[in-house]
Amino acid sequence: MKTIYEKSITVLGSTGSVGTQALDVARSHNIKVDAISGARSVSKLEEQIREFKPNVCAVLFEDAAKDLKLRVADTGCKVISGKDAIVDTAGAGKSDSVINSITGEAGLAPSIAVIESGVTLSLANKETIVCAGEIVNRLAKKNKVRILPVDSEHSAIFQCIANSRHEDIKSLWLTASGGPFYGKTREDLSGITPEMALAHPTWKMGPKITVDSATLMNKGFEVIEARYLFDVTGDKIKVVVHPESIVHSMVEYIDNAVIAQLSCPDMRLCVQYALSYPNRCEGTLKPLDLTEISALTFKKPDYDTFKLLKLAYRVLEKGGNLGAALNGANERAVALFFEKKISFTDIMDLVWEAVDKTEYIKDPDLEDIYNTDIQSRSMVDRLLRS
């Protein structure tokens, strides 16, 4: 089995928060980068091409690709454009691992392509599982592909479970920072601006996921993701608010022992573990000094004020196409919030109502998933106009 130093990777969404941190890991461990992808951050893509020398760079928007192609004509990197180009890059099968850090439902098709190529999928795009967990698991089993979690919480659970027997697991405990507004009432939240929502207390993340953390929608997505990644029912998945973000998640066993994974909050550790698995490599990141921490606190979530977490459990219980509806409605509502067309609390209300009005499909195929995504976004717009 190859060590982390011998592996090659593809990084989808290389200009985003997780993508740039994945390349930090590649830099630290001299990992070969075969391919990268981005949307329109031309200058950042040029920097990455010149440093990491990938063979291919897939760019979502054609105008950005044309600009980039001119800038890197001397490098030998092939620049391609469009959604299909990103999917083709994902499924090329030339890397040892593909890190999917694309934001939102746009990451689903590339994840499917990776799985069908037979390459290990290091997954930071939780929407892949939220929208199509059953389908993704079936494909992964069929193609004998391992999905390694890159989210800090799921990476923590993966490490805590290790070689434990599945039947010995009593509960999975997902920790949540609580976001910047934990403890506030619904009335307090009504005046929250996008700028206020982007001030996350502990994690450095992209703007969309930062807002999702503030509404606790992100934690709801992680509850759904945990169900499919670790094959447990919703009643065994618990959420606890832990503002310090030192304990990243815990596994409780049937003998009431609890095993936790602790580290300084840094996504690069999760990426590094996914790439070095099943081994570990020497740490290059800040070590955790427990003597510097005055206290670790744990509190119950407020399911009434932050009702999208409650909605996620309901969606998980019913399954079908509702995960796609939940994600699509949330993506649209968050976009409207950034455009200052709706309030912070409107996000939660619109998503709840859009999911309520979704036509339920018990056993959806991929086409059903994509259609549900489109319909749920349109539903949010219709609800806003009504």
SS3 letters for the chain?
A: CCCHHHCEEEEECCCCHHHHHHHHHHHHHCCEEEEEEECCCHHHHHHHHHHHCCCEEEECCHHHHHHHHHHCCCCCCEEEECHHHHHHHHCCCCCCEEEECCCCHHHHHHHHHHHHHCCEEEECCCHHHHHHHHHHHHHHHHHCCCEEECCHHHHHHHHHHCCCCHHHEEEEEEEECCCCCCCCCHHHHCCCCHHHHCCCCCCCCCHHHHHHHHHCHHHHHHHHHHHHHHCCCHHHEEEEECCCCCEEEEEEECCCCEEEEECCCCHHHHHHHHHHCCCCCCCCCCCCCHHHCCCCCCECCCCCCCHHHHHHHHHHHHCCCHHHHHHHHHHHHHHHHHCCCCCHHHHHHHHHHHHHCCCCCCCCCHHHHHHHHHHHHHHHHHHHHC
pLDDT 10s digits, 146-161: 999 999 999 999 999 9
Q: Are 306 and 348 in contact (CB under 8 A)?
A: yes
Q: Mean pLDDT score of the chain, rounded to an integer?
A: 96
Report pLDDT for 179: 85
Please report the pLDDT score of residue 186 as a whole number. Answer: 92
23-60 pLDDT, tens digit each: 999 999 999 999 999 999 999 999 999 999 999 999 99
- As a whole number, mean pLDDT of residues 130-146 equals 98
Q: What pLDDT does 180 receive?
A: 87
Give pLDDT tens digits for 265-289: 999 999 999 999 999 998 888 999 9
Which band of pLDDT confidence, cut at 50, 70 and 90, is reported for residue 4?
confident
Task: Tell me the average pLDDT across 224-231.
Answer: 98
Indicate whether 235 pLDDT > 70.
yes
The whole model's pTM is what?
0.95
Residue 292 has pLDDT above 80, yes or no: yes
What is the per-residue pLDDT for 282? Answer: 86
Q: How confident is the model at residue 202 (pLDDT cuts 50, 70, 90)?
A: low
What pLDDT, on a 0 to 100 scale, did the predictor assign at position 200? 60
Which pLDDT band, with edges at 50, 70 and 90, does 362 fall under?
A: very high
pLDDT of residue 203: 59
Q: Which domains does the chain have, with CATH numbers?
A: 4-149 (3.40.50.720), 151-315 (no CATH), 319-381 (1.10.1740.10)
pLDDT score for 285 = 86
Environment class of 157 (CB within 10 Å of its CB; exposed 0-12, middle 13-18, buried 19+)? buried
Instruction: Say what the pLDDT of residue 204 is.
Output: 64
Give the count of beta carbons closer than 10 Å to the beta carbon of residue 242.
Answer: 22
Q: Nearest Cα to 350, choosing from 336, 362, 360?
A: 336
